[in-house]
Amino acid sequence: MDSITDQTQIMALFQNYGVFAVVWYVIIAIALWRVFSKAGYPGILAIIPIVNVFILVKVAGYSAWMALLYIIPIVNIIFSIFVAIRLGERFGKGGAFSFFLLWLFSAIGYLILGFGSAQYRSR
């Protein structure tokens, strides 16, 4: 990476990914806003990056403190699956929906929960 053109190409690549990342974040924030509103939490909390994870864990029925499990490697993957399945149960969805659309393709699943006919049921 000695040449200025190499550095310029890398910066151009990062700019393209940056635009994609902002668009992706806006889509997730809109979807979570609706999910939080259905669950009785203020939707504006979906915009705040770390707070939205704590609220999502609370919507799933866990203590907000359990969101700290996302910091631990390997445990975060397992815990995110549990949160997705529990969130799906709260909205009356099955395990397959929860795994594939709330964990694997979360943006699609959150949009379906937020804008669909699913109703939040607290236990």
Q: Work out the average pLDDT over 18-44.
A: 94
The answer on pLDDT for 9 being more than 80 is no
Helix 51-59 with 75-90: angle, nearest 10 deg: 50
Task: Please check whether residue 48 lies inside any domain of the structure.
Answer: yes
pLDDT of residue 7: 74
Task: Please check whether residue 55 lies inside any domain of the structure.
Answer: yes
pTM score, whole prediction: 0.86
pLDDT of residue 2: 61
Task: Please check whether residue 21 lies inside any domain of the structure.
Answer: yes
pLDDT of residue 18: 81
Residue 61 tokens read as 């029925």
Q: Work out the average pLDDT over 51-67.
A: 96
Q: Work out the average pLDDT over 62-76.
A: 96
Task: Please check whether residue 123 lies inside any domain of the structure.
Answer: no
Q: Work out the average pLDDT over 83-91.
A: 96
Which are the contacts of 44, defined by CB distance < 8 A and separation ≥ 6?
A: 33
Which are the contacts of 37, defined by CB distance < 8 A and separation ≥ 6?
A: 43, 114
Structural domains of the chain, count: 1
Task: Please check whether residue 121 lies inside any domain of the structure.
Answer: no
Task: Please check whether residue 122 lies inside any domain of the structure.
Answer: no
- Spatial distance between the Cα atoms of 76 and 70, rounded to a whole number of angstroms: 4
Which domain range does residue 25 map to? 4-115
pLDDT of residue 6: 73
Task: Please check whether residue 120 lies inside any domain of the structure.
Answer: no
The answer on pLDDT for 8 being more than 90 is no
